[in-house]
Structure 1
Amino acid sequence: MNTPVIPERGPVVCIGETMAALAPDPVAPLDDAELLRVDIAGAESNVAVYLADHGVPARWVSALGDDPFGRRVRERIAAFGVDVSGVRTDPARPTGLLIKNPGADGTRVHYYRRGSAASALTPEVLRAEAVRGAGLVHLTGITPALSPSCRALVEEALSPGRPHPVSFDVNHRPALWPAGPAAEPAAEVLLSLAGRADIVFVGLDEAQELWGGAVTDAASVRRLLPGPGTLVVKDGSRASTAFVGPQPYTVPALRVRVVEPVGAGDAFAAGFLAGLRESGDPVRALRLGHLTAASALGVAADHGPLPPPARIAELLAADGRTWSAATIGEPAPARG
């Protein structure tokens, strides 16, 4: 098992693709939509943005096309206070694109990112000036699915003797992984990568989908992933558990009015990392993760405003009963 780490004082460097995102406005199935709203979407940049909201120096490293979408993505992320000096402009490849298709059973996402600028990232990124001096490098399981060179980037970032601690959000996106008899199963790849990271985030339902019957609860995920010094298992709207070494710490989720769940996992990761960096206390970090996730749950976009600082401070310091009774936004329906 890796020794549990506290993120150091250098910037958190988040490496991965951010795309332009199109979604019907007002919300409706694409078949019926007249207008599409232009936004941006990217798991790693979401984490960087929420870290910046918490006052943590954050740097996003990636590549964008030399096109209007790329310029929009760069300007939007920089406007949140994220350092984008490590983002390269690729003159030959386009910025990736996703299109949301809301429906009665949830929102489907259509990706147009094959051959994108970010899919050409290589391990050389790790030797760039923007990564030197990092207090923590943050990666997700999306990046290794984009291309062989992106897979090599993540493999090298998690190699023994790496210069920076690494956090890894499993973030399984089935639509991105190659299919067919010759394809390496995403479950095997992601288990191997997560097992080498210092801090890992995974949803319980996600772990069950990936690794099947071996996963029944947070403790079974820990048995499957004994390597990371810190493992955070998110159980939807119920609770999250952080294993720091063998010791589990569980914090119930807040009651939240949910507009759309997209981006909430990224927000949780950012809140947890910010809380761990600030206090070293896993319970406080889990609470800040839930508070930050509530910001994303309450909006249709990937990023929403944090609760007022006084409310955050009040809930971080609250006793267990007060925390469990707290709500953010309109109360959600009672959990069964």
Structure 2
Amino acid sequence: MRLVAFGELCLHMTLGPQASPASERKFSVRPIHMEVGGSARYVTEELARRGAEPTLVGAVGQDEVGALIRDLLSSGDTCADVRLVPAGNHSARLIIDPVGDGDIEITASPSDGTVDSLLPDATLAVGADYAHLSCFPGTDRLRSALVDLQVPLVADFGFVPWHGRPELLASVVRTRLAGVAVAVFNGAGAPAATVSLAEEAVASGVRAAVVTLGRDGAVVCDPYGTRYQAAPDVRVVNPVGAGDTLAAAFTHALHHGADAEDALRAGQAAAAGLISRDPFRADPDVPEPRVAGERCSA
């Protein structure tokens, strides 16, 4: 299976747990784990783990953080073919504190370029089995180009401002289903309406649609019906990238002959592995994060 994933890249900085309460000293220093994030990155990482042939086409800010992202991706540690395009003047940075409850503090805005800066590279997807694209504002020209090239799309419609606004989401999605093979939705705030929209997408020709419901599980729709599956019971350390990982594993399994329910199980298992990963556990000097048991947020 060959897939080309398009999207913005950002630097994820995970703060490790403190060795002692901050109140016991004036300054508290905690370890920091840095990795390249963004939907395209999570998708290609998961597909590479499954033996697929992913290509990552990423927009990278032109600031020092963007330079660090480029260095990290050129270090030889990446498991996908990579094409980086300068876009915008700064990069997104996410600070995740696994000591707390999994909340994410956004400390910088996304790059001020758009994913449409990747438009000249749309032809890299010619002949691929799929192209993955987060169909957020600023991606319409790239999406249209991929459709014109007749590349089946794995389309992510989980843009946060659309959560809980079913009428807005429906108006956006209904005009963007051409060429979509797999559609992924986030049902936060309006699960029933989002599932109905997923069913509508399948009725219009989409092969399969998934609605993620966080710790409440997920729903998959295909021409054979709509089915719900509970989430795996895991401890959530870092929820970022769960939906992208689920979409990648789901698409890979579906492509290789699994039915939609088995493909969803594969996606949920992959997402559970990601969100329960503890980047600091290998360090014996760092205590294990104090996180209460939660269900999978994929």
Alignment TM-score, normalising by the size of structure 2: 0.74
CA distance in 2, matches of 1:33, 1:19: 26
What is the aligned partner in structure 1 of residue 143 from structure 2? 154
Cα 1:74–1:238 change in 2 (3 A) is: same
Whether the 8 Å contact between 1:275 and 1:285 is mirrored in structure 2 is yes
CA distance in 2, matches of 1:73, 1:110: 17
CA distance in 2, matches of 1:217, 1:104: 26
Which aligned pairs between 1:45-194 and structure 2 lie closer than 5 A?
45-65=41-61, 68-74=64-70, 76-77=72-73, 79-84=77-82, 86-88=83-85, 90=86, 93-94=88-89, 96-100=91-95, 106-116=103-113, 119=115, 121-127=117-123, 130-141=124-135, 144-145=136-137, 147=138, 150-157=139-146, 159=147, 162-174=149-161, 188-194=171-177
Whether the 8 Å contact between 1:269 and 1:289 is mirrored in structure 2 is yes
Whether the 8 Å contact between 2:90 and 2:112 is mirrored in structure 1 is no
What is the aligned partner in structure 2 of residue 226 from structure 1? 203
Offset of 1:220 from its aligned partner? 5.9
Offset of 1:233 from its aligned partner? 1.9
Which aligned pairs between 1:207-286 and structure 2 lie closer than 5 A?
208=190, 215-216=192-193, 218-219=195-196, 221-223=198-200, 226-227=203-204, 228-286=206-264
Whether the 8 Å contact between 1:275 and 1:288 is mirrored in structure 2 is yes
Matched, 1:21 2:12: yes
Instruction: State the one-letter code of the partner of 1:139.
Output: L
Over the aligned positions, Cα root-mean-square deviation in angstroms equals 3.6
**Secondary structure at the counterpart of residue 52 of structure 2:** coil
Instruction: State the one-letter code of the partner of 1:276.
Output: L
Unaligned runs of 5+ residues in structure 1 are 1-8, 176-184, 210-214, 305-329
* Number of aligned positions between the proteins: 269
Offset of 1:217 from its aligned partner? 7.0
Whether the 8 Å contact between 1:24 and 1:33 is mirrored in structure 2 is no
CA distance in 2, matches of 1:155, 1:60: 19
**Secondary structure at the counterpart of residue 203 of structure 2:** coil
Alignment TM-score, normalising by the size of structure 1: 0.67
CA distance in 2, matches of 1:166, 1:196: 6
Percentage of identical aligned residues: 20
Which aligned pairs between 1:301-320 and structure 2 lie closer than 5 A?
none
Unaligned runs of 5+ residues in structure 2 are 163-167, 282-290
Whether the 8 Å contact between 2:92 and 2:111 is mirrored in structure 1 is no
**Secondary structure at the counterpart of residue 193 of structure 1:** coil
Whether the 8 Å contact between 1:21 and 1:99 is mirrored in structure 2 is yes
Offset of 1:224 from its aligned partner? 6.6
Whether the 8 Å contact between 1:256 and 1:331 is mirrored in structure 2 is no
Instruction: State the one-letter code of the partner of 1:239.
Output: G
CA distance in 2, matches of 1:331, 1:278: 36
Matched, 1:38 2:34: yes
CA distance in 2, matches of 1:216, 1:298: 29
Whether the 8 Å contact between 2:234 and 2:276 is mirrored in structure 1 is yes
Offset of 1:122 from its aligned partner? 4.7
CA distance in 2, matches of 1:200, 1:233: 9
Render the CA deviation track for 1:308-327: whole Å, top value 9, x for unaligned: xxxxxxxxxxxxxxxxxxxx
What is the aligned partner in structure 2 of residue 6 from structure 1? none
What is the aligned partner in structure 2 of residue 179 from structure 1? none
